[in-house]
Each structure stands twice: as structure tokens, then as C-alpha cells.
Amino acid sequence: MLSEEFVSAICGAPLSSNTAIAKDVGIYCHTLSPTYSVKSTFKKSSVPVNCLAISETHIFAAQHEKAYVHVYSRLRGNQEAFVAFPERIRCLTLVGDVLVMGTTEGRLMLWETGTGRLASTPARHVQGISCVAAASSYILTGSADSDIHVWSLPQLLELDSAAEHEPQRSLSNHRAAIVGLAVSSSVSSDTNFCVSASKDKSCIIWNYQTGDALRTLLFPSFPLCLSLDPSSRAICVSCEDGSLYLTEVFAEKPLLGPGAEEATTVVQVSSPFGATLPDVGPASCLSLSYDGTMLLTGHPRGQIMRWDIAENKSPVELVNLNAAVTNIDFVSPFPTDKPTKTVNIIKPSQAERAYTFAAQFDSYSGAETRFDSLLNAAGFPQEAIESAIAAFSQPVAEATGDEDLKKQNEELWDIINEQRALQKQTLERFAEAKPNR
């Protein structure tokens, strides 16, 4: 049976003197199925909302009201690095091996964890960046200034340090601070969208590549966080009043695609999927499982609740971490197709130096190729030497070029041969005439 794992993070001091829970643990790695358990923990971390990122080998956690990031090795189970930055980090996400961070000054910083290169943009937001989301080649940043900027990731990573970084476009329909962003992973034009949540009590579905607002959702109270179904089928939103809303994108009356109403039509969302009890409080973070049937919510009083979306049962408390739960992220069950992995991160540096990439080749489970056998052999195998000698002994086949060029070459050689014959005949006559003189 496929196991499901997720990582949670807390922020703040313990809520009670419960000795059963370690006081210095800040990040927890959980196994959800087939049986729930805490797999491992990492100490000395206080992680605010939207400040946790997970890769295949590492966990990156920005610290509350601090200008540094803690890096933990998932392979070795310890803290690998303490990384300081010029500004306080408000949010972060991963794009491959690039850690994208939003700062309190309203700028983006991109750290290539395999090279140590650090790129930075000017402060294009008036206030601090509150959330950041990433697609394959785009970065989206939301801020307390109510704007969302769309950036080109290839342009941000250009090696020309003198380039002036500007967002490709800005999405400005909101009227209050942005609190959440989620981007679909689809490549289809119908489902390649992003969703933003704001304190103006609305969520907007955008075509972020064109800047068009596709649909606006209104809620009774302002959203705190949101999550997008892995298949981009539904939007899950937690609101300040403790309600949870699950809005299907492609229902009988779809929000997008064929059969959808005009983009100017506002959808009032008033029927919650569920509601938390007053002693639990509203969810400050949430995450949907990769099959879309399970929802996990983290709460300011330490609870992590599990909601069964498929059967709509009452929520179950998985664990109480005795501190405000600020981040929940599912670990992807799918293996990566990258040929390398970053086992040891390279700390960022803005100093001028050679561009060096440090990584480890990953194991390859496919059939062994001829190159693999040559790479693993000691010296040159006898078979490879015999094959090379045989290749050199074979006549080289004539290349089939352009017929017109070939014809021109033949005509040129005819002229050259004719001139050579005429020259030879002239020399023979000259040699015969010389003795007669």
C-alpha cells in the first residue's frame, strides 16, 4: 500500500506545560497512512505561515521575524545549515532546486541551492510579500498592498547581474491584503490558472499568463488560507469564522471552461463544507492529499484535524502539537525524474565567482546502455576496441549532398582536367622544339 506523508511546522511558545510533547521541536514529519505516526522531528524552529518548503532531500524553514532560514537534511535527519539573508523572510517556496523567498521589504530573492548563487529583485511591492507560488516557468507574489505580480522565472535567473528585473504583469482586482496563492499544475489552457485569497472576503481565479480575472468568489468572512486540489478540480478555503468551503471548479455549473458564465459574474459562496469548533479555532493552514479525498487543517491551538472529503464525515483530531500549527505540506508520493539531487546545499553568496554546480547523480533504474557499460568498466573493454577497429577499417560511404552542387563539382573537375591535359600537351611540344634550335 502506498504510504502518505506530510510535514507540519509550528510557531510560538508551547500553549501548556504538557511534558509529553518536546518543547524544542518545531517541525514534524508524519505518516498519515496506512497508520498515523510521527516519523521524525526537527528542533529549534519557529516557522510562520507560508514559510515552509520541502524537497526530496531537504526542508527549508524561514524563522519568525528573522532574516534567516534553517535548512534540515531529510536524508541525515539533522539541521544542515543556518543561512542568513539581508532581509527578513515572509514566505518561500521551491522551484526545483531554487528557493524563492519573499521579503518584508517587498522584493524577491532566489537562491540556487546547488550553486550558492543568490539573485534579488528591486522592491516592486509597496509592502511586504505575504505569499509566493510557483508554476513551471512563472513566479507569483502576493502582498499586503493587495497586488499580485507575475514574474518570469527564466528572466529572474539570468546570469546578467545588471539586468533590471520587472514583473511581466500585475493583477490588481483585490482591495485588501493578499493572504494566499495557489497555482494549478496543469498545462491545459482550460485549467492552467491560479487562485488568490484576500482580506476583502473574496477569492479570484486568474489566467495569470494573460492577466484576466476569470471568476470572483465571495465569502461571508475573509479567507485565512486556501489550497488547490492536485488535479485543479476544487478550491478549499478556510475563513476567519471557522468555516471551511470546498468549491468545485468543474461542477454542473462550472466556474471555468465550456458552459461557464461570463467572467464578470460574481459567485456567492455561502454553504460551508464544514466548520471547526470554538475550542479549536479557524484553520490557519490546510493541505489536500494527492488523491483529493483527504483534507488536513492546522489550528492555532495545536490541533491537526483530518477531514474526509469523499464521505463527508466528522473531522478527526490526528494530534495536538501544543503550539500554533502554521504549515502543513504533503510530501509528493511521485518519484522525481531529475538525473541529479542536491545532497549538500551550497550557502548563498553574492560575491563574483565561478558558476559551479554541486550535485549527486541519482541512480538509474532503466536498462543498461552501451555508455553505462563503458563508464563502469576498468579501462577499455576488448569488445569496444574491436568494434572501433572494425569501424575504422570500413570504407567511408559517400555523403549524399545536394544534386546541383554535385553537378557543379563534376563540371569544375572536367574543366580542371581539360586544363591539365592542355598544359601537358603544350609542355610536350615545347620539349620537342627545343633540340631543333
Q: Classify strands 129-134 and 138-143 as parallel, antiparallel or unpaired.
A: antiparallel
Q: How far apart are CA 131 and CA 385, in angstroms?
A: 59
Q: How far apart are CA 151 and CA 415, in angstroms?
A: 64
Predicted pLDDT at 402: 66
Q: Are 272 and 221 in contact (CB under 8 A)?
A: no
Residue 337 has what DSSP assignment? Answer: -
Q: Are 101 and 109 in contact (CB under 8 A)?
A: yes
Q: How far apart are CA 81 and CA 125, in angstroms?
A: 29
Report the half-sphere exposure of 303 (CA within 13 A, side-chain side).
17
What band does 69 get if pLDDT is binned at 50, 70 and 90?
very high
Task: Name the nearest CA neighbour of 33 among 335, 297, 296, 323.
Answer: 296
Q: Find the length of the chain.
A: 437
Task: Name the nearest CA neighbour of 322 among 49, 18, 47, 39.
Answer: 18
Phi, psi for 44 (deg, rounded to 5)? 55, 65
Predicted model pTM: 0.80
pLDDT at 436 exceeding the cut of 70: no
Q: How far apart are CA 236 and CA 249, in angstroms?
A: 11
212's CB contacts (< 8 A; 6+ apart) are: 206, 263
Q: How far apart are CA 128 and CA 144, in angstroms?
A: 6
Residue-wise burial string across 331-358, b where 16 or more C-beta atoms lie within 10 A, e elsewhere: beeeeeeeeebbebbbebeeeeeeeeee
pLDDT at 431 exceeding the cut of 90: no
What band does 297 get if pLDDT is binned at 50, 70 and 90?
very high
Residue range 4-360, CATH number:
2.130.10.10
pLDDT at 269 exceeding the cut of 70: yes
Amino acid identity of residue 51, one-letter, is C
In 85-209, alpha helices (H): 153-156
Lowest mean pLDDT among 97-101, 132-136, 421-425: 421-425
Q: How far apart are CA 238 and CA 223, in angstroms?
A: 6
Mean pLDDT over the full length of the chain? 87
What are the cell numbers at 72? 534540515
Q: How far apart are CA 371 and CA 381, in angstroms?
A: 12
What band does 188 get if pLDDT is binned at 50, 70 and 90?
low
Q: Are 159 and 105 in contact (CB under 8 A)?
A: no
Q: Classify the C-alpha dihedral 143-149-154-157 as positive or negative.
A: negative
What band does 351 get if pLDDT is binned at 50, 70 and 90?
low
Give CA separation, 43 vs 22, 50, 78, 82, 92, in Å. 9, 19, 9, 13, 20
Predicted pLDDT at 191: 66
Lowest mean pLDDT among 53-57, 199-203, 263-267, 385-389: 385-389
What number is the average pLDDT over the span 164-191?
A: 87
